[in-house]
Amino acid sequence: MDPKDSELKKALKDGPPGQRGFDENLKRRIEERLDEPRVRRRPWRIWAGAAGAACALAAGLLFAGAYGLVERLSPKAESSAMPAAADPAQPAEAETGPRTALLVGTRTDRPAPSGQKGQTSSVYRSFLLAPEGGRLEMIASGKGILMPYKMEFWRIDGETAANGSTMLGAVRVASNGKTPLVRSSAVRSQGNPAFSEKLLFAGNRYVAIAQTPPGGREMLWVKELPQLAAPRRSASAEPLQEPHVTLRSLLGESAQPLVRSLDAAPPGGGHDTVGESWTLERRQGNWTAMLASYDGSGPNGYRLKDVPADLPDALVSYDTLSTPWAEVSGLQPAATDAFTSPNLDMAVVVTPRSLVVHPMHRGELIASPLLTVPLAENETVVMAHWALDPYIDQWKRQAKAQLSP
């Protein structure tokens, strides 16, 4: 047999080419054999050789075609061609339950008993909502405000002095849960403090309070948390001697022209240029900074003016309502406030007498609630902090240790 015939036959015998059908080398070699002159070959051998080559070629092409068909119809090929949206793992992931914890602090205002003189008193409580066994549960609830500050927790509560005034105190809590709520230095240094105070906002570093001297007018201050444990100014001191945080110290130099444009009068008179007296209010899912102008108007002798500025993370670490307010009010017509989690797995809707937690799917509210927490009359939310993994278990341990009815 001619050596080229042997090579051709071997090439056809080895199975289908890497490319389905003829490749260029095989085609060229066949054409070369066809162009060569016939020499010393008997007719039956020519026919047999051509027939054998044709049969081998047909078998190779048939095998290649069948291999390609099997490859296209195999389960592996079919599954790899599926679009990602059809992956059943995605809906399963959306139904794994809540993946976020929420630490809530509230204030309940109580008017003075009938027939008795005195100011409105306030009581505080905190509760932690967190995943437990695949469900959202109330992990712990107790008196006072349990506030995360940096890498630890502090506890805030009202402390009643000998003269009946209620001053806010703050203490760092121990991780073992054995820290009692002792009277802070703010009260220890002033047996009969000249002010009564209530908490308006508790963030991750700062707090906002209302401070009222007996028979005097209310003043608003934002403080860094340790300032709440420090002594207050004396009753005879100027208001601006009270330890506090200005808007300029938080917003930078850009706050000065902004504050000037609001034309506000600080406590003690004059023209405010740095944002001395201010607070934060909730408005349909967001904290809003409000500058106080002490111009003698309003029931407390001041007016609040909106501060049109983005608040830094140091003041409000996560304050994004990820669903339109119209959707919130459509689901809960009595809604006064709402919070949505960073994981977009749940939304907390506040009404006058309850706090309703709704699941979320792809950013949309689901009507069936996960949990409902009753609220007392005149109970408002002053703190809301989210926790994600890996901090949820740590917060659960702290809440169980620090919060007691």
Q: What pLDDT, on the 0 to 100 scale, is given for residue 81?
A: 31
Q: What pLDDT, on the 0 to 100 scale, is given for residue 296?
A: 87
Question: 375 Cβ partners below 8 Å, 6+ apart?
Answer: 106, 350, 351, 352, 353, 354, 355
Q: What pLDDT, on the 0 to 100 scale, is given for residue 342?
A: 95
User: Structure pTM?
Assistant: 0.74
Helix 3-13 crosses helix 43-73 at what angle (to 10 degrees)?
Answer: 20
Q: What pLDDT, on the 0 to 100 scale, is given for residue 55?
A: 42
> Is the bond into 83 cis (omega within 30 degrees of 0)?
no
Q: What pLDDT, on the 0 to 100 scale, is given for residue 323?
A: 94
Q: What pLDDT, on the 0 to 100 scale, is given for residue 35?
A: 53
Q: What pLDDT, on the 0 to 100 scale, is given for residue 27?
A: 55
Q: What pLDDT, on the 0 to 100 scale, is given for residue 41?
A: 43
Q: Which two three-digit tokens encode residue 183?
A: 């009277």
Please state, in angstroms and as integers, the Cα–Cα distance from residue 24 to each residue in 17, 18, 137, 182, following that order. 11, 11, 71, 91
Check: CB of residue 191 under 8 Å from CB of residue 161. yes
pLDDT tens digits, residue range 273-317? Answer: 999 999 999 998 999 999 999 998 888 899 999 999 999 999 998
Encode 347-369: b = buried (16+ Cβ within 10 Å), e = exposed: bbbbbeeebbbbbbeeeebeeeb
Q: What pLDDT, on the 0 to 100 scale, is given for residue 384?
A: 97
Q: Which two three-digit tokens encode residue 379?
A: 């109970």
The position carrying tokens 């993370």 is 313
Mean pLDDT by 10 residues, the chain (405 residues): 53 50 57 51 42 43 37 34 33 65 96 64 96 96 96 90 80 71 48 79 97 87 94 84 96 94 93 97 94 90 95 92 96 97 96 98 94 97 96 95 85
State the Cα–Cα distance between residues 228 and 209, nearest whole angstrom. Answer: 9
Q: Which two three-digit tokens encode residue 207?
A: 């707090």
Task: Indicate the SS3 state at residue 298.
Answer: coil
Q: What pLDDT, on the 0 to 100 scale, is given for residue 375?
A: 98
pLDDT tens digits, residue range 119-131? Answer: 678 999 999 999 9
